[in-house]
Structure 1
């Protein structure tokens, strides 16, 4: 399993918090986007697209269901193929 550098983890969290309109201290690695932060599927797609653009990677839409919290987003980004 691949891991992300601290710098990339920080960038991922900034993107997620920006899209969910939350302060960084409101989101933990395990807090759930939908249940804890009221995110909807449109925001999830926006997060996916922003991550692809920022890191030059390809994330399959089927991964959206796995991207429920920061921990899972880090994993998806780490394993995503570079475009």
Structure 2
């Protein structure tokens, strides 16, 4: 059972598979989730939204007034607070 057994029996594939698995693990650890198919502008802090997707406070206030959730007096007071 010399080196010929190692080469001809297919045992050489296990070190190659081990190296590939180690490289894959290192990639997954150090890429910090970019492998999961997310775009490059992925926000890692999920508490904040992108600027293009978030609404301003005035937009939200207008929607609440249109949906009759707040009265006209409340709307005017809150609008004044937001603008100032």
Task: Specify the structure having the higher radius of gyration (Cα).
Answer: 2
Q: Give TM-score, length-normalised by structure 1.
A: 0.24
Q: Which has the higher contact order (CA 8 A, sep 6+)?
A: 1
Structure having the higher helix fraction is 1
Q: TM-score with structure 2 length normalisation? A: 0.24
